Amino acid sequence: MTDKDELEKCFLDRISEPPEDSGGGDHVFSREYERKKQRLIRRASNGCHVPHLRLILAVAAAAVSALIFAGVRVLRMPGFAGVQRHDSTRFSVQPPDGSSDSAEEYYSVDIPEGMRLESMSTVPEIGNYFVWEGGGRMISFSQEKAGVFSPQIDNQHSKYTECTVNGSNAVMVKWDNSTMLMWNIGSSVLMMNTSGFTDDEVMELAEGAQPTERFTLGFDSPGTEYRERPFTLDGFTVTDRSESGGVTETLLAGARDIRVRQCAPEDYVPLMDMDFFEMSRVTLHDSECWLLRWIDEDEYAVVWEQDGCVTEMSIRADPPKVNGAYDISADEESVLSIAGKLMDAVSSENG
């Protein structure tokens, strides 16, 4: 395994402990940052994906036909199969003949008013993963290729019901105030975890799921006239500055080289295609921004809009090794620290 492969696998597999707030230091993390980030897709390289929300399932044996052998029960449900042990069930589906290795269509659901996107990820070999929150409610929606669909479900405190979504076989799982729905559309399985929604509302959301255009990050113009915002950043030296298509690009050399792109909201296009990446909403100095990671390119970007100017800082991933393992969280803290200093520099010189 090459260093690049090892880094990608480490990034996809790890679920790190939440960092401490900096208490007024270089940057301040949103308290929700790690919780939201941990919902993103983490398992792509081994051909098996386990959703981060721990799904709870008590199997109603009368609802399925079962074969029992050696303490393992094989569940047969329309469109789904599961291997059940005493504490969990691992589900799978049969991919259709001739299905491709990556998603051919990307699905999403219509989001109720008052909810906003908090995090998302796209991995071509799997599909999409979105998390929306608002008004005390939560929706996470994922699309997974049939060949890699393999969630492990806890067998406790829950009940499930077989149902259909637009004619596709589906299973609804309920526990506490949460509802999970998974439905098999052939080449992919769509899954939706919700909190604060009724069963009817969950079904309505699922039935409205449709193929959508590939996601790209954009900003609405606040009506403020855009102007170029030069800046200086302590510890960094400007090596090049250029302008093209309404975008000003500045290259800076320092302990870690960075690229800064600034433009009007309507002119912003992310540095790279929104493919094989993950994104989380974070807070720097009381301002909301997005932390993006292009996994296969080992590249970060931190993006925010302020007073009619979108600023994007991109930087190569360079995680330290601790006890022989890459510390991705430490690398992200370093990236956000630099972004926080840049945000201060842009604000102070253009305030």
Tokens of 201: 């509302």
Q: Residue 43 — very low, low, confident or very high, per pLDDT cuts 50/70/90? A: very low
Concatenate the DSSP letters of all residues of 159-193 into one string: EEEEEEETTEEEEEEEETTEEEEEEE-SSEEEEEE
Could you say which DSSP state residue 310 is in?
A: E
| Rounded-to-integer distance, Cα 145 and Cα 148, Å | 6
Domain boundaries, the chain: 3-33+217-350, 61-212
User: Which amino acid appears at position 252 of this protein?
Assistant: L
Dump pLDDT digits (tens) for 160-213.
788 999 999 998 888 778 898 999 998 889 999 999 999 999 999 999 998 877
Is a pLDDT exceeding 80 seen at residue 232? Answer: yes
**pLDDT tens digits along 73-99:** 776 778 887 777 777 778 788 887 765
Class of domain 3-33+217-350: alpha beta
Work out the mean pLDDT of the chain and round it to a whole number: 76
**Assigned token pair, 319:** 């995680």
What is the distance between the alpha carbons of residues 229 and 306, in angstroms, rounded to a whole number? Answer: 11
Mean pLDDT of 127-142: 90
Neighbouring residues of 307: CB distance < 8 A, sequence distance ≥ 6: 222, 224, 350
In this prediction, residue 5 has a pLDDT band, given cuts at 50, 70 and 90, of: low
Determine what percent of the chain falls in helix, strand and coil, rounding each to the nearest 5: 15, 40, 40
